[in-house]
Structure 1
Amino acid sequence: MRILKILSIAAALAVGGGGLQAAETEKLYVECGGSFSGFVAKMKAQAEAMTYPPQVTDPFFGAANYLQRTINADRRQGIFNTDFIDFSRKLIAQYRLDKGRQNAQKYDAIFSRIEQELGVPRGILLSFWAFETDFGAFTGDFNTLDTLMTLSHDCRRPELFQPQVFAALELYARGQFSVNQQGAWAGEVGQVQMLPMDIMQRGYDGDGDGTVDLDNSVADSLFSGANMLRSFGWRPNEPWMQEVVVPDSMPWEESGVQPEDYRPVEEWAAWGVRPRSGSWQGPDLEAALMLPMGHEGPAFIIYPNYQALFEWNQSFVYVATAAYFATRLEGAPVYDPGNAPARLSDAEMKALQRKLVARGHDVGEVDGILGAGTRAAVQAEQERLGLPADAWPTRELLNRL
């Protein structure tokens, strides 16, 4: 499910006197494309230049195969082309709510330790655990080595995946990775879906047995997930989201989920924004107003911890849903769906993106996905045209453009 955002490794990572001394993200080690066998040979040569011995590189790279189904999965992420209401209703099934609450009780001691030691609440961990692998029920059936090598060979994003191959090689040299390892289509493994570089930096021995087993140990998985969130900037014991009610007179152009959209909670309150239930969870914090489907749909105040979730996954709709599900698991009511206009069709979204590009906006790829660039462009054009600048694309906006 994850859309990748991989951070740089600053620490040295070494095996004995040689091996991987430093792995950098967004680094192209060898030229992508060409024959796969030739690519494998170049990656192997690069590993040997990094002083990995043949007894490590021969079996590791000798086991690598091209995996077309990985490429197919990479090109097929249509689940993210949906809106928040449809996406959240699809993912937050009753069995996930029930199973989440059962696991909160079953592993209460583990969650309590994490909350005390790392300050990450159980709702957030349960949410990602649920969405990534259905609480460990299915961790993936793609060969991880094949997947990482295939995506490294593919010229779409090789700079993201080639460093992961060498991180996997490092783990293999340490006896902590198997060429038969199974995982997700993008190379993540284990119950909370971590990439090899994540495991090296943030893997956490939660059960104290001297190893980090993300496939079989719930404690290791949950502690590692919490440790990863902490490294992404999670602030201990602070809220992340709560549903709010907004007045019709709200200056909608002030809404958004980027860091520059945050302001003191008291300013939102002065505009008439109020919690839908209970009191403000972070009255002394800065917060942003998130309108996942515009000013007529659900409304949420998000706190600084929400930004850390974007380091886990880059999909707006995924993060919004995961954050909301976490609040449900911690007792929040079902959100008010409001009366948001229907999402544009894929063809309409692409047409809108092309019109935005023609007006000089950077929306990234014209792919029909309502990403950060498209939202910013929509909001700017709404404000220019005198429409409610809530970043939700409508047919009226499409027609006006």
Structure 2
Amino acid sequence: MRRLTTALALWLASATLANAECGGGFQSFVEGLRQEAVTKGHDPATVARFFASVRQDPKVLQADRRQGVFQLPFTDFARRLISNDRLSKGRAMAKRHKSSFDQIARTYGIDAGVLLAFWAFETDYGAFQGDFNTLNALATLAHDCRRPGLFRPQIFAALELYEHGDFDPATTTGAWAGEIGMVQMLPRDILDNGVDGDGDGHVRLKTSPADALLSGARMLSGLGWRKNEPWLQEVSLPAGFDWSLSGLDTAKPAADWARMGVTPRHGKLSACLPASVILPQGKGGPAFLAYPNFNVYFEWNQSFTYVLTAAYFANRLGGAPVFDAGNPEPGLSDKEMKVLQSKLAKRGYDVGKIDGILGAGTRAAVRDIQARLGLPADAWPTRDLLNRL
């Protein structure tokens, strides 16, 4: 009889939670989280302490809606994020934490520059890790109904970290989207990939560079990073290059690109590896060859502009020259990009949300419509294209 009663209680709780995945009154939503945590087997008293201080944070929602920096073209974005100060600090950090980077190279086959770039861009080498209460941020975003499937599980992961002594619901702070520490990892990623790099028995990504760097490396490895392989290389393209061959959806052995006249600006091509030619600002702008490891960056951040800048900065830290910005055609304003996306969507293209951001879907649509209109199919939207549509 007791087993039946328990099963019935669990079923009723599950049914209630299924109807309250997000939205509704915030306190009712939190009560649903508490119930679910208990049904998952967490101690009720621990659950009560964990959720005791949680509050909705409207500033988190404001930050979530305000991500205009990703609307900048690559050259502007890269120049904003990459400075001589960040370069010199990165090289100093590489020397200061050489033992951690040597361990990363031995264990995961990841170049120091890759982790240094994330460390620099996410928190300026740990100096600015965010001051949003992490539990409040996660609960606010899970309640918001835009992406509950991403943020709701992170709350229960944070609860597990709390049980391990590595999370304080009242004082743990980080980014507005719930990431914690020097390289900004979500609680679930910390649970799955956390490494006690300094041997103190805890994974402290906010205060221990060794923990943060080794945890970040383990996460990249788990996402598919290929040991001791390159990720990105700036190239020069020959006259008469077929622009429609550019884009991440077209991959050829680097040796094939070399036979077509593609040449590296620094180092040598990795002839046997598949690679794609990417043109962040079309045929007049910089050109890069992206190797398989470049795609792993998108598992960390889905913004093409951010990913390319982080990958390029890792190259710079390794001695690559400043990229050749070329002379690209002016891009579209935010308003014009939204008009373009709307026109493409009306023609049946999947551009995702009409947000003014040149993401993968919009790039693919632009390339296809350019080819149909007899324009250079370089995936770079211009006013000429907009006018033709």
| Shorter-chain TM band | over 0.9
Aligned pairs for 1:336-351 (under 5 A) are 336-351=324-339
Which sits farther off after the overlay, 165-174 or 306-315?
Answer: 165-174
Q: CA deviation at 1:266?
A: 1.6
1:280-339 Cα distance to aligned partner (Å, 9 max, x none): 1x1111100010101110000010000111101000000000000000000000000000
Unaligned 5+ segments in structure 2 are: 1-16
Work out which of the residue numbers 295, 305, 325 in structure 2 matches 1:317.
305
**Alignment correspondent of 1:226:** 217
**Alignment correspondent of 1:300:** 288
Q: Is the partner of 1:136 in helix, strand or coil?
A: coil
**Inter-partner Cα distance in structure 2 for 1:56 and 1:171:** 12
**1:29–1:162 contact (8 Å) kept in structure 2:** no
Aligned pairs for 1:115-264 (under 5 A) are 115-179=105-169, 180-257=171-248, 260-264=249-253
**1:28–1:158 contact (8 Å) kept in structure 2:** no
RMSD: 1.2
Structure ranking higher on relative contact order (CA contacts 8 Å, 6+ apart): 1
**Alignment correspondent of 1:368:** 356
**Inter-partner Cα distance in structure 2 for 1:161 and 1:105:** 36
Q: Paired residues, what number?
A: 372
Moved over 4 A (4+): none
* Greater helix fraction, Structure 1 or Structure 2: 2
Q: CA deviation at 1:28?
A: 7.1
- C-alpha distance 261-28 of structure 1, shift in aligned 2 (>3 A): farther
**Inter-partner Cα distance in structure 2 for 1:168 and 1:107:** 28
Q: Is the partner of 1:268 in helix, strand or coil?
A: helix
Unaligned 5+ segments in structure 1 are: 1-26
Which sits farther off after the overlay, 48-57 or 153-162?
Answer: 48-57
**Inter-partner Cα distance in structure 2 for 1:103 and 1:29:** 49
Counterpart of 1:150, as a letter, is T
**Inter-partner Cα distance in structure 1 for 2:55 and 2:289:** 46
The answer to whether residue 264 in structure 2 is matched with residue 270 in structure 1 is no
Q: Which has the larger radius of gyration?
A: 2
Q: Is the partner of 2:225 in helix, strand or coil?
A: coil
**Inter-partner Cα distance in structure 1 for 2:286 and 2:225:** 25
**Inter-partner Cα distance in structure 1 for 2:97 and 2:33:** 42
Q: CA deviation at 1:29?
A: 8.4
**Alignment correspondent of 1:397:** 385
Counterpart of 1:126, as a letter, is L
The answer to whether residue 59 in structure 2 is matched with residue 100 in structure 1 is no
**Inter-partner Cα distance in structure 1 for 2:332 and 2:312:** 23
Which sits farther off after the overlay, 203-212 or 190-199?
Answer: 203-212
TM-score between the two structures when normalised by the length of structure 1:
0.91
**Inter-partner Cα distance in structure 2 for 1:107 and 1:168:** 28
**1:29–1:46 contact (8 Å) kept in structure 2:** no
1:123-171 Cα distance to aligned partner (Å, 9 max, x none): 1010000000000011110000000000011011111110001111111
Q: CA deviation at 1:176?
A: 2.0
| Identity value in percent | 56
- C-alpha distance 29-234 of structure 1, shift in aligned 2 (>3 A): farther
The answer to whether residue 274 in structure 2 is matched with residue 286 in structure 1 is yes
Q: CA deviation at 1:190?
A: 0.5
Q: Is the partner of 2:135 in helix, strand or coil?
A: helix
**Alignment correspondent of 1:329:** 317
**Alignment correspondent of 2:366:** 378
